[in-house]
Structure 1
């Protein structure tokens, strides 16, 4: 069973709470910061990705936060069935574990990366670590800090979207990405992709260390919080 929140996240949340209380006491917190804290968009409301050409950092806008209840596990081969998905990449079964585990109640944050960047750069921004951190280390940190999702959780997000839920999942042909565990210590995560266009759902998996730079406009889903502690 995947844990929904790590000790690192709990420590980060305590520090953020202490900072909020201090600012509130001395009157130095802005109205927007207060609203953001009360919405519980922490501990990484706006992870930053560097604009290499400009040498500046740009925040990831948060599109939505979605609560997921406990999700029962099931075989990977039964995820994204062809009865609903017009395209299902064979790499889903080839690269991922045979079983998708049960997961606890959690919150999924949907981000909109604002700049053209690679998956590695997105991960570094989410983790607040240097972009030159080895990809294996980045993958391990994504797993350890509870930022990966299972395919079953992704299916749950798609179902909520179909029912009109404000999940931030794009249904206009743009891709929705999320980090998935591979079970391989040397290559801990891959990146799953789901898209919807003209009544056609598609799903596949891509390599985390791909050098391809994705344009701004895609959605990135990140498991981020332990809802039981909200």
Structure 2
């Protein structure tokens, strides 16, 4: 009966919610871990759907709450470690070569970014795991800068567990109303993207202005 109620949570159109439902029903905890690992590798997959639904599934007895927390945290770490590996393999030298080909940026911009990461990398990796979009992307510069793997795993595990626990417990307690979590976290994600877009616009305008002024002086 619990499984039938959980299956009905996907709604008439299925979509991502339907896919998450089928994966968790078929594989249980490992399915939830697989879903959240893929979310790390493909940010368009929303953790605000996967994690509350996992909590709802735990509330319906499809899997235990402990299993939900364990497998999703493991999935987060595996996904993050894959992105860390990409950054480490790509390497600092290639990043500089790629950066030199990009318009409107300077080598000094990248150097300042590296200096910032050297000072705040630990906090960035830990808190970045709780910020939509950045929770995936932060693993790449950690790999490029070769943050010690044990430290990266510790920070990633701690940050991922907190983020996962909040959304899973929300879905567990809200039950059929788990979509409330999706709405609020979705709004937060949109706000983050709007801020990032605004900062990119400001950066672009400033850099174009600097070039225009430099051209006039030349």
Report TM bin, short chain: under 0.3
TM-score of the aligned structures, taking structure 1 as reference length: 0.23
* Bigger fraction of residues in helix: 2
Structure with max Cα Rg = 2
* Bigger fraction of residues in strand: 1
